[in-house]
Amino acid sequence: MKKYITTPIYYVNDVPHIGHAYTTIIADFLKKFYTLEGNETFLLTGTDEHGQKIEQSAKAKGKTPMQYATEISQSFKSLWDKMEISYDHFLRTTDPHHIQAVQKAFVKMQEKGDIYLGEYEGHYCISCESFFTPTQLKENGGCPDCGKPTQIIKEESYFFALSKYQDQLLKWYESNPILPSYRQNEVIAFVSQGLNDLSITRTTFEWGIPIPSQKDDQKHIIYVWLDALMNYVSALGYGQDGAQMSFWEEAIHLVGKDILRFHAIYWPAFLLSLELPLPQKIYAHGWWLNEGQKMSKSIGNVIDPQAMIAEFGNDLFRYFLLREVPFGQDGDFSHTSLIDRSNSELSNDLGNLLNRVVGMSEKYFALQLYTESLQEFFAQELENINQIIHSALQEIPQARFHRYLEEVWRLFALGNELISKYEPWNLQKNGEENKTQALLVLLCNILYKGATLIYPAIPQSAQKIVQALGKDLGDLSSIKTHYFNGFQLTKTDPLFPKIQKPEPKMPPSSSQVKQEETSLIKIDDFFLSDLRVGEVIEAKRVEGSDKLLCFQIDLGEGRLRQIISGIAKYYDPQDLIGTQVCVVANLKPAKLMGMISEGMILSVKDDEGLKLIVPQSKKKNGSKIG
């Protein structure tokens, strides 16, 4: 089978940051996974170089847009090379073949009767390169996505007949192309409200692809999102004679939740107009915060992937991003969590297992192992191993990459348990050499299978493990059932040396803590809390916790808030969907079970249990409680 995996193409108005690295790492993880599965893969990435924002950024730096775009595009390419991302093509939207493809698409859409000339009047956010209706804006007129001021634009524009495709889009969503499903539900809700036609040309700046042919219209520049989205097919040769595009039918798009709308609504509508097949899947991931705070250049807390890989190496950085947060949800980048995961999961669970196995094999069998008694001694264990691999592999089509790794770690836990259970040093003492040797062969098989499975996540370390075992990397079908009878091991340095944690900051001593003189507060103090009414859009249990529920709440902000609440014992999450609740909306985000919580839901508890505090009748989402 073929698998076509794409990252978004990144804007060149800024150097790469952790958000870009995250999407690209997941894409590379999938490419490696599908390759191990025996598929023919193609990973596309690149840079999105046109548009007003880039024109402005270049001007501010005293450069031409092309000079500026070339420099930043190169910094993305160098980062991916440093991070050993196995991309197959790096597309720039300034590439001539891309420009030609976009123009051809414009003509095709015109021929289809999907483009008409009109006048656009409305609000435009340059930062998001996105149009909004007045009702979508924030109270202060800011962009609902990024909060920055919007501009009122009135200009002649070509429109794409997006509304014409509403029903076809809704039909398409029935095939569940978007994961996680709560993101798909958001898209369906948005489309069901009705779609407006989309302005797809601009006339007030120049840095973009001009519409083809018509003399009078030379001033029209193609909307940067139509230009950018087309990269997914222009990279495969769309618009060129004899283009095969054989990968296109197997497309998987990886995107952040902020750009899902463009990929899940505009893009399939454009494709329908172009009479091209729709993508197989769109995986939308959440956002990374830095120690609980939104990252921004003005606060100066943006995490630089270069610095992370210099400090921790590629594999640990990849592992942390993939493992820390359930795919789709927002996550907190905390150095302490990263170091904890490295020391416990990579050093203890995996690194030590390898060391112990190599150490015992050296001591008892001079690093050469052979047995024909795996089945005789360890029939049950073999079954357990096969079962764990089976359940790990089932997580990938659900885009639950953190769960996949969790399952693989069950293999390593099993390996460590077997050493404690069978105590090979005692087997040796009791003259049961055959069993010791069979146990070590079994453990090597666990390490080999585990290494193959973690190769997509931590490729360099997986290669080292496989080398220590004297083998080549396997493929996913062979590791499902095949066991080696022998191994010729090589000694290796510790794979994941322990990382020292930075000294914790001392809490203030009791004498430093100023005691509150009174428990009464002023009304102003009360109003420091921003209490709002919000509607539960999505609710589910938090994996691994019997107390916590994870909510996606609509506070009328144009985005959903994730709130983790300890009420799982009192409510079935499904029963709460659609309920309006009271929320403390201005709490500093906190992390619970590795997941970000951006607020608190109010409830009341007495001897008879807990109840949520809810408005007496339906109120507009986001209404202030006073």
The kind and range of the H/E element at 66 are: helix 65-82
Q: Where are the beta strands (DSSP E) in 286-401?
A: 288-290, 331-333, 368-370
Q: Does 43 bind ligand MSP (CB under 6 A)?
A: no
Is residue 131 involved in binding ligand MSP (CB under 6 A)?
Answer: no
User: With respect to ligand MSP, which residue has the nearer C-beta, 18 or 465?
Assistant: 18
Q: Indicate the burial class of 281 (C-beta count within 10 angstroms; 0-12, 13-18, 19 or more).
A: middle
Q: Which of 165, 383, 358, 373 has the alpha carbon at shortest distance from 273? A: 165
Tell me how far, at minimum, the Cβ of 20 lies from ligand MSP, in Å: 5
Residue 287 found at the interface with ligand MSP (CB under 6 A): yes
CA-to-CA distance for 278 and 570, rounded, in angstroms?
Answer: 42
- Taking CB under 6 A as the binding criterion, the range among 19-27, 29-37, 70-78, 405-413 that sits at the site for ligand MSP is 19-27
Question: Least distance (Å) from ligand MSP to the CB of residue 263?
Answer: 7
First and final CA of the chain: distance in angstroms?
59
Which residue in the shown chain puts its C-beta closest to ligand MSP? 256
Cα–Cα dist 471/441, whole Å? 13
Helices then strands, each counted (H, E), the chain: 22, 26
Among 48, 49, 55, 345, binds ligand MSP (CB under 6 A): 48
- Rounded distance, CA 266 to CA 229, Å? 9
Give yes or no for residue 95 binding ligand MSP (CB under 6 A).
Answer: no
Judged by CB under 6 A, the residue of 91, 169, 295, 360 near ligand MSP is: 295
Q: Site mask, ligand MSP, residues 21-40, x = CB under 6 A? A: -xx-----------------
Strand, helix or coil for residue 382: helix
Q: Is 407 in the site for ligand MSP (CB under 6 A)?
A: no
Contact 209, 102 (CB under 8 A): yes
Among positions 3, 20, 108, 561, the unique one binding ligand MSP when judged by CB under 6 A: 20
Residues 450 and 350 sit within 8 Å (Cβ to Cβ): yes
Residue written as tokens 């996505």? 145
What is the DSSP code (8-state) at residue 149? B
- 377 phi and psi, to 5 degrees? -85, -35
d(CA 37, CA 30): 10
Q: How far is the CB of 79 from ligand MSP (least distance, A)?
A: 13
Q: To which H or E segment does residue 226 belong?
A: helix 224-229
DSSP β-bridge partners for residue 503: none
Segments in 483-623 forming alpha helices (H): 523-526, 573-576
Per CB under 6 A, does 305 bind ligand MSP?
A: no
CB of 247 to ligand MSP, least distance (A): 17
The yes or no reply on residue 288 touching ligand MSP (CB under 6 A) is: yes
CB of 165 or CB of 232, closer to ligand MSP: 232
Exposed e or buried b per residue across 609-621, where buried means at least 16 C-beta atoms within 10 angstroms of its C-beta = eeebeeeeeebeb
- Using the rule CB under 6 A, give the single segment among 16-24, 82-90, 144-152, 194-202 that binds ligand MSP: 16-24
Which C-beta is closer to ligand MSP: that of 9 or that of 358?
9
Region binding ligand MSP by CB under 6 A among candidate stretches 135-143, 287-295, 344-352, 460-468: 287-295
Are residues 557 and 622 in contact, defined by beta-carbon separation less than 8 angstroms? yes
State which of residues 4, 8, 542, 582 lies at the interface with ligand MSP (CB under 6 A).
Answer: 8
Task: Identify which of residues 97 and 219 has a Cβ nearer to ligand MSP in the complex.
Answer: 97
Count of residues interacting with ligand MSP (CB under 6 A): 19
Q: What minimum distance in Å lies between the beta carbon of 237 and ligand MSP?
A: 18
Q: How far is the CB of 48 from ligand MSP (least distance, A)?
A: 3
- What SS3 state is found at 606? strand
CA 236 to chain centre: 24
Q: Does 222 bind ligand MSP (CB under 6 A)?
A: no
Residue from 79, 229, 278, 555 in contact with ligand MSP (CB under 6 A): 229
Site string for ligand MSP, 256-285 (x = CB under 6 A): x-xx--------------------------
Contact footprint for ligand MSP (CB under 6 A): 8-11, 19-20, 22-23, 48, 228-229, 231, 255-256, 258-259, 287-288, 295
